Structures are given as structure tokens and as C-alpha cells.
Structure 1
Amino acid sequence: MTASDTAEPTPEQQSLLKRAIAAAAIGNMTEWYDFGVYAYVAIYVGMAFFPEADPGAQTLSAFGVFAISFLLRPLGSLFFGPLGDRIGRQKVLAITILLMSGSTFLIGLLPGYETIGILAPILLLLCRMLQGFSTGGEYGGAATYIAEFAPDKKRGFYGSWLEFGTLTGFGFGALVPTILILSLSDAAMNEWGWRIPFLIAGPLGAVGLYLRSKLEDTPAFKNLEHTHKIEKSPLKALIVGYWKRLLILMGIVITINVGNYTILTYMETYLAEELEISKTAALLPLLLVTLMMMVLITPIGALSDRVGRKPLFLSACLCFLVLTYPAFWLISLGSAFTTFCGLALLGLCHVQLIGPLAATLPAMFPTGVRYAAFAIGYNVSTSLFGGTAPFINDYFVGLTGNNFFPAYYLMAAAAIGIIPVLLMKETAGQPLMDDDEPLQTRA
């Protein structure tokens, strides 16, 4: 009997489940640590790797590299997703965390433009592309891994710990640069201080690799191996048999990732450069809101086990439509208190999406294509609408002079997200799809 067969796992299963969650979450933590670091030191990265130019152009160039790296995520998902459905989740997750943390670590070692000229931004781009490629197999595999270990009645609760890892990683990735920015001079940050956060990714990745190397594969995948039902071509099986559900997943991810990369990645630069809010008034509210979301994330995941995933997703989309403009108005007032209040409104909207996320999307597909479906659908949508969000927001704020553009962009994403949420089938409390079960029979 696996953990998914009963609402109350045995002590041995409970121990294995906790280790599985920790090993999966630390990869997500490492991924979002990198995003947090890059967002918070984007100004310094721009100055280090691009020629002397207008500071705004340097920052835009740094976010351009951030966005371009996301073009590799779909390729990574096309490689790692089907591979995870053929050779197992555990092996692929060990590879992705090694590549992901290693590429982030290398950025901290790269010489700048003044030392090697045009090679500097080229090497930066290559590191970001390797990071994006490996990330293409990370989140989908981690969510699949937890979903296949978790009990059916508590999948939302256990899956939410993956997003707790996301927020922990982003919070840590924001905290380290914040301490450095507030304690070092601008000259020291420009010269060497910005490198420290990237170098920390090395030890984080080593811990994650150790944890993942000690785990066995999921009960669902081992059963697939035992019954000889592993798909020879998971990608073909996915596209032929589950393309409609794949499109629904991609539509849901639009709202999630525009929210993720607007709130968690772009906002620090937006506050500092567009609104010219002081470092303390900008950085501390962001950290407090991240902490608030960390407190709420697992209760929200548990709530989705009781009331369902769809009600929370719909509530999040509607909250974004109603509360985003007032949130940005509060932020625009410029004080630390109003900035916190505005960011808190956005955080309350967003936590309703990410709390049930890791439990919802893997349950939409059978075991034989689950890793590929999540990885490909999630990362294609993310590369188009998530990773580009900081660049698009920064560009159009500069082009239009309208500081409320990010609010309109987020509201538009929420409006689009309502449609796939209405079309998705409720999966709360249900067993994961069996590979012999026709898709249309799912309630």
C-alpha cells in the first residue's frame, strides 16, 4: 500500500513522505533563490555585464537576459519531462538541481564587461540559458514527485510545502541581497558584493543533490515499471490523448506566473526605479509580505483539500481583478506602510493560486505522461507569460510613463485565467488518474 492509498500513512510512509517533500522542495527553493537574487541585484548585474549606458537601459538589458533564458525552459521540459516518465522522477530531479545550482553559482564567478568585454554578457546569457534549460525539468518533476507520494485527502496540504519552498527560496534570495545592500557601500556592491548571493547557490545545490540522491522513486512510477506500462513516447501519448487538458493547464499557469514574476521578481526594481521609493521602504515590506505568504501557504493548501481547488483558483482570479488596482494605488503613495498594505493585498490574491497549485496540476494527467504534461505545459506557458513579465512591465512603464501598467497586465492575466479554471475538473480528494482510465471519465 502506498501513501496515496490511505488518508493516514503508516509511520514508515510518513517518514518517507517528509523526506520526499524536503528533497523536492529544496530544488524549488534553489530555483526561486536564484530568481530572488537576480531580481534584487539586477541593477548591479546590468552595470557589471553591459557597457556604460543609461542605468535604465542597463537594468532593461539585465531583465532581457532574464527573459531570454526562459526560452530554454520549454526545451528543457521537452527533454526532462518525457525522460522523467521513462527513467523515473528521482534520477531526473538529481540532474536538474545539479545543473540549476551550478549555473547560478557560475554567475558569481564571471568576470565583468570591463575585464573581458563582449564575452561578459555572452557568458552571462549562457549561464542563464543553462539555468533555464534545467529549470524546465525541475518544478514539474518536484510537483509530480510530491503528488505521487501524498495521500489523496491531503494532497493539497502536502503539495503546498513545495510552494513553501518557493517562498523560502525567494525570501532567502531577497534577504541576502537586502542585507548586503543595506550594509555595504554602493561601490562595494558594484565591485564584489552582488556576487555573494550567487555563490551561495553552490552549497544549497549540494545539499539538495545529497537529499535527492538518497531517495527512491515514487510508488506510482515503480508500479508503472512493475506492470510494464511505461510509455515509449510520453510526448506523443500526451499530445494525442491529452492535448485539451494540456491547454487548460497552460491557461491556468498564465495567471499564476504573471503574478509570480510581477510580485516576486519585478516589484523590487519597480519600487526602486519607477516609484523612487527608498531602499528600506521598498525592501522590508517585500520581505514581510513574503513571510506573510509563507505563513498562509500551507493552511491554504489544506483548505483546498476541504473546499476544492477550483473555488480557490476562481477566488484568486476575482481578487486580482478587484484588488490589484487599489493595491498599486497604495504602493504608489510611497511610504513603507502603504507599500506593505498594497503588497499584502497582492500576496493574499496570489497565495490562493500557489497554495493548491502543486496538488492540482499533476492530478490532471495519468502516471505515464504526468511528468511530461506538467513540465511541458507549465514551462511553455511560463516562458511566454511569466519570465517575460519583468521585461514587459519595465518596457511599457518606460514607454507609456504609466506606473500602473503592471496592475493592468496582472488584471488581464487574471481575466484570462478564469476561463481555464472554469473548464478544469475538480481533483480534490480523488485518487490520481490511473493509466487505464479514460480521461473523459474523470469527475
Structure 2
Amino acid sequence: MTAVLPDPQSADRPADRPAARPAARRAAPGRRRRLRVSDVTVVDGPMLKKTIGGTVVGNFMEWYDVGVYGYLAVVMGAVFLPTASSGVQILFSLGVFASTYVARPLGGIICGRIGDRIGRQKVLSFTLIMMAASTFLIGLLPTYDTIGAVAPLLLVLLKLLQGFSTGGEYAGVTTFVVEHAPDRRRGWAASFLDFGTYVGFAAGAVVVTVLQVTLGEQAVLDGAWRIPFLVAGPIGAFAVWFRLKIEETPAFQAQQAATEQDGGAAAAQAAAAAPTLRSLWKPLAVAMVLVAVANTASYVLTSYMPTYLTDTLGYDAVDGTLLTVPVLVLLAGMILVAGPISDRVGRRPLMWFGTGSMLVLSVPAFALLAAGHVWSTLLGLSLMAVPVASLVGVQAATLPAMFPTAVRYRSMGLAYNVALAVFGGTTPLIVEALTQATGSSLAPAYYVMAFAVVGAVTVFFLRESAGQPLPGAMPAVDTDAEAAELVATQDENPNLDVETLPLHREPAASGAH
């Protein structure tokens, strides 16, 4: 997987060079702090590629399940609540989908706290195992016809378990990748995460479509719906094996090395001075709003669209699925473009473009969908993909850069998952309820436009982070030559403020008292 990553700017360096050097020195009182070459982290190129590959497979796994469940929403309602009306079945199925997001904040906070203490890699292996196992077990569940009302309860329980594990997954993998990436290419590296997201979603759609075409709707209802969930077993086993081969991040290693070097008293003092989540309420609030905006648009396009095309616009299940697959592939490609662009022009311009296009294109997109032609549906879905790519494509690089290393994982876990629980995961349920209540096929467009306005305002409060070191971490570059150049130009570099870097104390000069 890692061999195909487009990384034209990387350069080789000696294989025995450590991926991270412990953070360096703090200037003595009265002296100006200086950055040295030994302070700068030179990124291990092969390990970066392995890291991207190992985290992409986890995102693929998570969103493969989301895609499968989204495209089987009508079927799952009929299987686990067969005595209800079709409208109630759909609301039940979407409600079960939304219930997974209840557990996500808890998973994000607990996994984040542990990950900030013992390391990101160990926790991410655990979340992936839990996620794959719960998806596999859904494929083994007895139905309502077998055990009655216990069946939907077990479905909800397993979806809650999925929610807990995925709550720690995305917050962890974004933290993991950005802490491995060089500062000037963080957007490029992080964009692969959401690329994996939409490829996984498309894969889930393809698997469901193949079942529907080859076996027929009745066979899917009779039990073939289990197959996509059971496939998660071998996929998950491969993903766990891949992830276990990745090293811990340079930023976390440097922080641990600094703690061990300073000793117990210094470590306790540093822990007492570390920021708390309460002191970070402003970046947490900004992050929550940005996540809500990006994922509202995303979930309308992905998780809700199969239901909208079949239940509201009258497409049959197979056509509704097939129409979304090429758009998901297009979206994945657009995300790989958005990340590198944000490295050049900044994260904020891309987010303003995303919220602006979200406001302008939503009504035309849904009007094209309502026209009922295949070409208009594809064009409408493609228009919806533009703001999603612009917002989601820079999200993974932007959000972790808002928080310091010591609390980055738990901060991401809280901000991302609370926003997703309140807004993202409930989006399919809310827009379906709005559509049924108003009878208007444009109701989802107006809902998305309201979030676009809020998002555009919130970007004003976002600090630009493209090309800058992560808070609480030393600068990260691709080569030794870049490290030397960074040190030589540190006084005029607009992306570098040495006074904010976590430098250690310099050795006292000879003869000093």
C-alpha cells in the first residue's frame, strides 16, 4: 500500500538516523533562545509512508462499515423491525446509526487520555481490533424473527461498541499522522486519512451493490445482508497486522524522552503546568463547530444519500447505490488535491472556499437531484462533493494543530466526537425527518446552508497552522539540508517562533556561577 503514495518531495536519509531527536535546549536567563540543527526532527520518509498506510487501512475499515450500514439502511429496518411501517423502519435504522455517536465522545476521551499517557500506537491497535470485531459480530446477529425484540437491542449494543472504538480511532489517527509528518507537507500526509474514508465508504457501497445485483433484493433480506459485515473480519485482521508494524510518533517520543531526562520532580512540575481541557475551551469550541459543519455536508452526501435517492426520489436500491459510487471516488481524489493545496495557500482559505461553495451550491445540487435524470443526479452529487472535499480534505491537518502535544489526542477525541455525536451522526435522521415533515425535497439543502453560514464565521477564529510546527513540538522537516536552512533563517522565518518551542535548558557556560 505504501509504495504507491505520491511523495515527490521526499528525500532519502541514512537508515540509522533516528526518526526523532529529543527536544533541545532552553536559553539561560537573559539570553535569547536559539534553535539548533539538533533540535529539528528530520522525518524518516519510509516510516512516514508506512504510517500513512497503516492509518489509512483503519479509516477504510471504519467507513467500510458506515457505508455498508448506510446502503443497507432500508434492509436493516425491515430485518430488525419487520412489523413496523416502512417509514418507521427507515427512522429506526437511521436512529440506530445515530446511536453509535452517543458512545463516540466517551471513546474519544478515554482513548485520548490513555493515548496521551502511554502512546498513540498502542491505543490505535486496540480501537481497530474492537471496531473490526463489533462489525463482524453484527453479521452473526439473530434477527427479529428469531429472538424478537432482543434482536434490535443487540444491534444497538454492537453499534454503541463501534461508536466507542471509532471515537478513539479518528482522533488518534489524525494525531498520529500529523505528528509523523513534516510541517510543510502536513496537509498532504493527512489528506490520505479521509481519502481512505471515502474509498472505504465506496467499497461498502460496491459490496452491497454486487449482492443486490447478483442475488436480488429478496435474498439480501433473507440473510445475504450479513455478508458485508462478515467481510470485516479478514479486512480487520490485515489492518491490525499492518498497524502493529508502525512506530510511535516523533513528537510523543521526544516528549517522553524529555520527561525521563528531566527526572521525577521536573516531570511533576511540567505536568502541573500542562494545559487542561478547560483552559483550551476556545480552540475546542472552534474545532467542534468546524467538525459539525464539515461532517454535516459529508453525511448528507454519504450516509443519508442512499435513503434520500430511494425513499424520497424513488430510485430503486441498486440504482441509488450505483449513482453514488463514482461520486465517492471523485470525492476521494479531490481530497488528495485539497490537502497539498492547503500546504501552499493555507488551511483557512480552503475552509472559506468550502463554506462558501456549500452555501452557494446546496440548492442547485438538490434541485438537480430532484429532476430525476441520471445525468442530473450525478451532476448534483458532484456539486455536493466540492464543499465536502474542501472542508474534509484539510480537517485532519487542521484540527490536531490546534492543541499541544501533551493533550492533543484527548482534545481531538473530545472536540471531534462531541461535534459528530450532536451533529454529524444525527444528520441523516434529522434531514429525513425534515423531508418527511415538510414534504420538500430541498429541506436537506436548507439545513446544510445554515451550517455553511456558521462555518464561514467560525473560520475567522481559526489560527493558521500550515507550515508551522505543531504546538508543543519541535519543527519537523524532510532532510538534513532543510534542518540546516531552517536554523540559518530562524530569525526571519514567518512560520517559526523559537520562543514558543519546547526547548530544554542549555548546559551552563564554563566558569558561570
Same fold (TM over 0.5): yes
Determine if contact 1:272/1:278 at 8 Å carries over to the other structure: yes
Match of 2:291 among 250, 253, 260: 253
**Structure 1 letter corresponding to 2:70:** A
Please, which moves more after superposition, 259-268 or 224-233? 224-233
Pair 1:18-2:20 in alignment: no
TM-score by length of 1: 0.94
Match of 1:193 among 224, 237, 248: 224
Residue 75 (structure 2) aligns with:
44
Match of 1:224 among 249, 255, 260: 255
SS at 2:78 equivalent: helix
Determine if contact 1:224/1:230 at 8 Å carries over to the other structure: no
Residue 273 (structure 1) aligns with:
311
Q: Distance in 1 between matches of 2:287 and 2:170?
A: 14
Match of 1:97 among 125, 128, 144: 128
Question: 1:301-342 CA distances to partner (integer Å, 9 max, x unpaired)?
Answer: 110000000000010001010000000000001111100000
**Structure 1 letter corresponding to 2:248:** D
Match of 2:100 among 49, 63, 69: 69
**Structure 2 letter corresponding to 1:373:** S
Larger Rg: 2
Determine if contact 1:285/1:340 at 8 Å carries over to the other structure: yes
**Structure 1 letter corresponding to 2:222:** E
- Sort the Cα spacing of 1:298 and 1:372 in 2 relative to 1 into closer, same or farther, 3 A: same
Residue 177 (structure 1) aligns with:
208
Q: Distance in 1 between matches of 2:217 and 2:269?
A: 55
Q: Distance in 2 between matches of 1:315 and 1:284?
A: 29
- Sort the Cα spacing of 1:232 and 1:401 in 2 relative to 1 into closer, same or farther, 3 A: farther
- The structural deviation recorded for 1:180 is 1.1
TM-score by length of 2: 0.82
Q: Distance in 1 between matches of 2:167 and 2:439?
A: 34
Question: 1:383-442 CA distances to partner (integer Å, 9 max, x unpaired)?
Answer: 00000001111112112212211111111111111122111010011111126999x979
Residue 3 (structure 1) aligns with:
none
Determine if contact 1:368/1:435 at 8 Å carries over to the other structure: no
What pairs with 1:205-244 in structure 2 (closer than 5 Å)? 205-228=236-259, 237-244=275-282
The alignment of Structure 1 onto Structure 2 pairs a total of residues equal to 436
- The structural deviation recorded for 1:233 is 7.6
Q: Distance in 1 between matches of 2:437 and 2:120?
A: 44
**Structure 2 letter corresponding to 1:194:** W
Pair 1:428-2:466 in alignment: yes
Determine if contact 2:295/2:392 at 8 Å carries over to the other structure: no
What pairs with 1:269-418 in structure 2 (closer than 5 Å)? 269-418=307-456
Determine if contact 1:248/1:420 at 8 Å carries over to the other structure: yes
Q: Distance in 1 between matches of 2:132 and 2:212?
A: 23
Q: Distance in 1 between matches of 2:397 and 2:276?
A: 19
Please, which moves more after superposition, 319-328 or 195-204? 195-204
Q: Distance in 2 between matches of 1:214 and 1:232?
A: 31
- Sort the Cα spacing of 1:33 and 1:392 in 2 relative to 1 into closer, same or farther, 3 A: same
Q: Distance in 2 between matches of 1:190 and 1:48?
A: 7
Determine if contact 1:82/1:233 at 8 Å carries over to the other structure: no
- Sort the Cα spacing of 1:299 and 1:138 in 2 relative to 1 into closer, same or farther, 3 A: same
**Structure 1 letter corresponding to 2:469:** P
Determine if contact 1:231/1:237 at 8 Å carries over to the other structure: no
Residue 233 (structure 2) aligns with:
202
| Superposed CA RMSD | 2.2
For structure 2, which runs of at least 5 residues remain unmatched after alignment?
Answer: 1-8, 16-43, 260-266, 475-495, 502-513
- The structural deviation recorded for 1:281 is 4.0
Q: Distance in 2 between matches of 1:68 and 1:299?
A: 33
- Sort the Cα spacing of 1:38 and 1:9 in 2 relative to 1 into closer, same or farther, 3 A: same
Q: Distance in 1 between matches of 2:270 and 2:201?
A: 37
Q: Distance in 1 between matches of 2:318 and 2:69?
A: 19
Determine if contact 2:251/2:473 at 8 Å carries over to the other structure: no
Please, which moves more after superposition, 351-360 or 276-285? 276-285
**Structure 2 letter corresponding to 1:257:** N
Q: Distance in 2 between matches of 1:19 and 1:177?
A: 30
Deviation beyond 4 Å, 4+ runs, structure 1 = 229-234, 435-438
Residue 90 (structure 2) aligns with:
59
SS at 2:302 equivalent: helix
For structure 1, which runs of at least 5 residues remain unmatched after alignment?
Answer: 1-6
Q: Distance in 2 between matches of 1:413 and 1:371?
A: 26
Q: Distance in 2 between matches of 1:122 and 1:213?
A: 33
Determine if contact 1:86/1:230 at 8 Å carries over to the other structure: no
Pair 1:116-2:147 in alignment: yes
SS at 1:265 equivalent: coil
Greater helix content: 1
- The structural deviation recorded for 1:280 is 4.8
**Structure 2 letter corresponding to 1:259:** A
**Structure 2 letter corresponding to 1:333:** A
**Structure 1 letter corresponding to 2:203:** F
Residue 115 (structure 2) aligns with:
84
Determine if contact 2:71/2:321 at 8 Å carries over to the other structure: no
